[in-house]
Each structure stands twice: as C-alpha cells, then as structure tokens.
Amino acid sequence: MHMARTEPGKAAERVSARGLFRGPDRCCREHDRCGTQIAALQFGFGIRNYRPHTVSHCDCDAAFRRCLRALNDTISDLIGVTFFDLLEVPCFVLRRAEQCVRWHWWGG
C-alpha cells in the first residue's frame, strides 16, 4: 500500500523514496513491514491466499487503521476508505488448535 513503491509488497527503504505524504507513507510502510503476512497467490499459516495482493494479520490491519485515523487528514482518509471500505481487503487471525500427539487403535 506504500505510495512511493514500485512493486506490490515492497516498502520504500530510503527517506527520499517515501513520497510527498510522509504521514500516510509511514502508516503504509509500517503495514508493509507487518511480520505476519501471506503474499499474493501464496500459502502460509495453513491459509491459501488466492488474491492478487498480500493479506495481513488482523492486528496489523487494525494498527494500520489506527495510524491513518490518527493523522486526521484527507489523504489518510482516502487511503483508509479505499483499503477498508472499497477494496475490503481481508485479514486473518491465527488461533491455536488442539493437536493429536498419539493415536490409539480404537480411534481415541
């Protein structure tokens, strides 16, 4: 989502490449660097991402939304509306599941 990048999912690394809108760029860059993501058309965390863009953990998307809202400016509002309302980019949550460690012949 970073506004100055040239490739999907690649955050700008240099200050000079961050673009004119530093506040929204910071929010987008932090979201791009979320540690829990599934790249476009990839499989991760037991989930297949069939979308043409990266999906992030819901905590990362919530932090992105808070960051944009805190800026309280037009471009941040536009990015938020586009990402969350128009595109409706999904997120995912990881949950612990019971795991079988030993099987018995009667199925228990």
Of 94, 76, 78, 98, nearest to 86 by C-alpha is 78
* Residue 16: inside a domain: no
* Residue 44: inside a domain: yes
Q: Catalytic residue at 31? A: yes
DSSP assigned state of 19: -
Work out how many domains the chain is built from and give that number: 1
Catalytic choice (2, 25, 57, 61): 61
Between residues 72 and 4, the one the model is more confident about:
72
Catalytic choice (2, 25, 31, 57): 31
Q: Catalytic residue at 61? A: yes
CATH number of the domain within which 50 lies: 1.20.90.10
* Residue 101: inside a domain: no
Summarize pLDDT for 26-76 with one digit per residue, the tens.
999 999 999 999 999 999 998 999 999 999 999 999 999 999 999 999 999
CA distances from 32 to 73, 95, 102, 103, 104 (A): 21, 22, 40, 42, 46
Dist CA 61 CA 38 (whole Å): 13
* Residue 107: inside a domain: no
Q: Where is 61: in which H helix or E strand? A: helix 58-71
User: What is the average per-residue pLDDT within 13-34?
Assistant: 79
Structural domain that includes position 38: 22-92
* Residue 14: inside a domain: no
